[in-house]
Chain A
Amino acid sequence: MSEPAKTQVSVSDALAMLADCFNLPVEEVHADLERDAIDDWDSMGALMLMAELDERFGIELTAEVSREMTRIGDVLAFLKVHGVLSENA
């Protein structure tokens, strides 16, 4: 049985989702934004991201992978690896 097609989002939608998780204005969120510059990318922010990825895409983000993410681009790369980031956005 084939796996059901995953929901896909554009880069701009993904950035809006991350802005929501980390309580940032969406216009401030970009791939090069470092984690250290985001106050709310703390344990709570990490949990919000984990919950959002589970809810929207059914993707599992482990604590270990989460700790390795150091910039917004790492989250986008994670989404791409899991096939939920639209290439055409």
Chain B
Amino acid sequence: MAPAPRLPEHEKLGRLVARSLGLDATALQLGLNPALLADLPEVIALRREHLNGSWDDDTYLRWRYRLGRASGGFGDLWCLRAKGRLLAIIGVEELRVEHDGQALAGAQVMDLLVRPEAQESGLGIWLNQAMLARYDFTLAVGANQNSAGIVRRMFEPLPSRLTFTHPLDLAPFVRRRWPAVAGLPLAMRVANGGLALRRLALRRHRPRGLTLEATTQLDPALAVPQSRDPASVHLRRDSAYLQQRLLGNPRRPLVTRVARRDGKVVGLIAWAMEVDDKGRPELHVIDWHHDSDATLLGLLHEAVREAAARRCSCVRLNLQDSSTQRVAARAGFLPSRGDEGRLCGVQSRDPALAKRLAKARWGLTDASDDSDAL
């Protein structure tokens, strides 16, 4: 990581940024406001200039952000306007966190976009600092072209999120490395038979006493299961949030399974069915919550069972902490070769807190990475 730059303090930063844009500092300050529904057409037009895709962005933004409404959305989108024109946007989603006996109010920053004519003004950095001023800490998970430099140089790095894969059909993997072997149907059949036997052997070690059921509606009173590891940062997620985040995503509806032990909910897992570049289905695990390693193991076995039943080529997930990686290895997941991991980091006005949070154990899932919604 590059050394932390000597960033001017917020007020001076605002003055410099404003001046480079031909504004005065007060106009910059007053130009930053939470987005309302009326801002959507301009926000969508700005996003269309930067993002490629065929999704319904209006529906997505209404799902993701409050936009001044009493209900609907779970994050806040901020608009920076100058001389009547939208120059930039930044999104935040509040995080309630407990670590080391301390409750912290943080936010995840996302969806930072700066209009091309405002780039190199420092506006993205000023927006990032403006959000940081409102919370104990901010978290960045993943980054786009606009924000990668900011995350890399302004945030304390968190452990990388690494991709783990459980192969179910060796053909795509063999085709990449040994194309000649992939052309031999008998060899591939034997290899896949070996994989099936491996799955069978691994399943013999799945935890007993766990029942799994599909759900499309979480009980509003559900206490979301959580491990009690004192070294971990615990993200407080409630049932209403998960209902909206996992089951209400208009761009990528997720399949959710709830795990019970003795009738009590002890875990849940959510995944998406995707296709690889050859059009083959693969299962991508997005989020999970569990009371213990045994429950997580059961949840991962369920994902593998579902993927095999749907003839997926593999199950994929991104894992951050070593204890979860060990459980995934017991369920047959393998780390990807040459994986540098996904960028994530934490920032605080209190450098000691930032360092403490960076050293803590995080278990961020793809539910914390807005790329699953893009």
User: Using a CB–CB distance below 8 Å, which chain A residues touch chain B?
Assistant: 23, 40, 42-48, 50-51, 54, 60-64, 66-67
> How far, in whole Å, are A66 and B21 apart by their CA atoms in the complex?
11
Please, which residue of chain A has its CB at the minimum distance from the CB of B22?
A: A62
Residues of B contacting A67 in the complex (Cβ-Cβ under 8 angstroms): 119-120
Please, which residue of chain B has its CB at the minimum distance from the CB of A63?
A: B121
How many chain B residues touch A (Cβ–Cβ < 8 Å)?
A: 29
Listed stretches B1-9, B90-98, B102-110, B271-279; interface member: B1-9
- Is B226 interfacial (CB-CB < 8 Å)? no
Residues of B contacting A46 in the complex (Cβ-Cβ under 8 angstroms): 120, 122
> How far, in whole Å, are A60 and B148 apart by their CA atoms in the complex?
26
Cβ contact of A44, chosen from B12, B19, B117, B125, cutoff 8 A: B125
Cβ contact of B124, chosen from A23, A43, A60, A64, cutoff 8 A: A43
Q: Given A44-B150, A62-B20: A50 and B122 within 8 A (CB)? A: yes
Q: Given A23-B2, A40-B149, A43-B119: A63 and B124 within 8 A (CB)? A: no
> How far, in whole Å, are A66 and B19 apart by their CA atoms in the complex?
13
User: Using a CB–CB distance below 8 Å, which chain B residues touch chain A?
Assistant: 2-3, 5-8, 12-13, 16-17, 19-22, 114, 117-122, 124-125, 146, 148-150, 153-154
- What are 16 A-B interface contacts by the 8 Å CB criterion? A23-B2, A23-B3, A40-B149, A43-B114, A43-B125, A43-B149, A44-B5, A44-B153, A47-B120, A47-B125, A48-B5, A50-B16, A51-B13, A62-B20, A63-B21, A63-B117
Query: Chain A's interface: helix, strand, loop or mixed, by majority?
Result: helix
Nearest-Cβ distance from residue B86 to partner chain A, whole angstroms: 16
Please, which residue of chain A has its CB at the minimum distance from the CB of B154?
A: A44
Are B118 and A45 closer than 8 Å at their CB atoms?
no
> How far, in whole Å, are A66 and B118 apart by their CA atoms in the complex?
11
> How far, in whole Å, are A62 and B21 apart by their CA atoms in the complex?
7
Are A43 and B16 closer than 8 Å at their CB atoms?
no
Nearest-Cβ distance from residue B112 to partner chain A, whole angstroms: 10
Nearest-Cβ distance from residue B31 to partner chain A, whole angstroms: 15
> How far, in whole Å, are A17 and B16 apart by their CA atoms in the complex?
18
> How far, in whole Å, are A66 and B16 apart by their CA atoms in the complex?
13
Nearest-Cβ distance from residue A70 to partner chain B, whole angstroms: 12
Residues of A contacting B13 in the complex (Cβ-Cβ under 8 angstroms): 47, 51
Residues of A contacting B124 in the complex (Cβ-Cβ under 8 angstroms): 43
Are A43 and B2 closer than 8 Å at their CB atoms?
no
> How far, in whole Å, are A25 and B61 apart by their CA atoms in the complex?
44
